[in-house]
Copies of this chain bind each other. A is one copy, B any other.
Amino acid sequence: LNGCCKSEQRGSTMAESTNMRLRLPLLCIILEVILIILFGALVEYNDDTHAKMWNANKSHSATRDDYENEFYYRYPSFQDVHVMIFVGFGFLMTFLQRYGFSSVGFNFLIAAFSLQWATLMQGFVHGMHHGKIHVGVTSMINADFCTGSVLISFGAVLGKTSPVQLLVMAIFEVTLFAVNEFILLSMLGANDAGGSMTIHTFGAYFGLMVTRVLYRPNLDKSKHRNSSVYHSDLFAMIGTIYLWMFWPSFNSAITNYGDPQHRTALNTYYSLAACTLATFAFSALVNPEGKLDMVHIQNAALAGGVAVGTAGEMMLTPFGSMIVGFLAGTISVLGYKYLTPVLESKLKIQDTCGIHNLHGMPGVLGAVVGAVTSALASPGVYGHGLQRVFADAETGKWNPQSRGGFQAISLAVTLGMALFGGLVTGFILKLPIYGAPPDTHCFEDGLYWEVFERNALFIFGNGNVFFSSSFFRTHAK
């Protein structure tokens, strides 16, 4: 019993250095005030959201009918993406036994910040209209996409960073995301509707570099908390299943109207289904007793969505999508089993959620598949639909091989930007001013949230007796 008491005292002594009372409110308020000022100065409704402009500024002589408003093409997809960002990512990370509040709560905080900041950064970079950033449902989806990238990086540093660090990371990552996205989509003319490169590869390698710089040699002091309990794995499955179900909407959310949007959803649906069978197969195969591992099911089953993020809008066919999905699930499970321990022991990359397996490798696979599928595109296969997929096919100077080459260059640019950005951001986050948790108290909600420990006597089958803690909020509502 003494041990418990000591542990609690240690907790409150340490609270000095991790106290968020001034740091977090100051940062949040300053950031939000800056955002509000910049929105006031720069952001305007686009033609489809503006009372005056809708049906005033028309390209055709005829009045546009209401059903032509982009809202009706994109809003259902937007809502699915929104669910993935807030429920999907948020609950996927609740697998940790004592970090559920932080997982879903900090996910909520940094997503709410990032989507505002991304609106500005993507607006700046992708072209202003007479000095103004135009917003509508498409900009909302793009902002959510950029946010997704930040949340992927969050997965690598989960449990080891304060909310202040996470907000600072988001500031830099969103900015670089917008620059990288601009280089790929506008300068290189790349296709990447579902973000295999811009979102997944970028977010993963950015996060991996950040966690490398923030390497904690004594993280094993918090080892007992870096695992799940039965119910926390079920909460995490809520995240998994929502990500899985809505990935077809994610990949198709900003493709062109008509067949591209429809086809992308279909391809993603089949890729994910095949990926799920591969995941169950290899999860049982790599376990000596043939038992399934919740980590694999929660994560690797999603790799199929990542891996068709670039080629999904192309004529990949269900056949091609299933092959890609099957490969993605396979490399993801093998990564969790064999690569993650090596990355940690040899390269000192402590990747809490295994984002390298879910977003890193499948993102690179998706980029390669996209390059190959682009290089194989032809008017014979696409007909008049070619220019609905490849924007520069309209120009007549269509050359699929060089298209494929630009896709490959895009991957290289993304990797470079992500690793460089993560390096710089990592060193900025290393400054001892953000209230990061000590090595002994990582993966612990109690540092940043009002919780109350209640200890229970547990008796193991082998006769050992030990104490386990449950958390309770300290006061009634």
Contacts and interface: CB of A to CB of B under 8 A. Distances in A.
B473 A228 contact: yes
Contacts of A468: 454
A79 B32 contact: no
Interface string A75-106: 11001101100110011001101001100110
Interface stretch (A108-116, A174-182, A193-201, A399-407): A108-116
A205 interface: no
A163 interface: yes
Interface residues of A, number: 164
Contacts of A280: 24-25, 28, 109, 163
Contacts of A385: 50-52, 54-55
A39 interface: yes
A326 B33 CA distance: 9
Contact of A295 (B22, B382, B458, B477): B477
> DSSP class of A's interface residues: helix, strand, loop or mixed?
helix
A455 B449 contact: no
B290 A22 contact: yes
B49 A263 contact: yes
A264 to B, nearest CB: 9
B274 A230 contact: no
B105 A284 contact: no
Contact of A20 (B86, B291, B456, B470): B291
A338 interface: no
A387 B444 CA distance: 54
Contacts of A383: 51-53, 56
A229 B382 CA distance: 55
Interface string A251-271: 000000111111101100110
Contacts of A54: 258-259, 262, 385
Interface in A272-328: 272-274, 276-278, 280-282, 284-285, 287-295, 297, 301, 315, 317-319, 322-323, 326
A461 B70 CA distance: 59
A289 B52 contact: no
A35 to B, nearest CB: 7
A353 interface: yes
6 contacts: A7-B461, A32-B274, A48-B259, A49-B259, A104-B237, A226-B477
B116 A273 contact: yes
A460 B454 contact: yes
Name the 4 nearest CB pairs between A and B, nearest first.
A21-B290, A51-B385, A52-B383, A4-B461
B276 A384 contact: no
A72 interface: yes
Interface in A1-41: 1, 4-5, 7-8, 15, 19-26, 28-29, 31-32, 35-36, 39-40
Contacts of A80: 79
Contacts of A241: 86-87, 90, 104, 108
B448 A459 contact: no
Nearest to A8: B461
A454 B424 CA distance: 44
B21 A284 contact: yes
A395 to B, nearest CB: 18
A202 interface: no
Interface stretch (A61-69, A183-191, A208-216, A365-373): A61-69
A71 to B, nearest CB: 4
A154 interface: no
A420 interface: no
A382 B56 CA distance: 11
A239 to B, nearest CB: 11
Contact of A36 (B49, B319, B388, B471): B319
A453 interface: yes
A450 B291 CA distance: 6
A245 B456 contact: no
A171 to B, nearest CB: 13
A431 interface: no
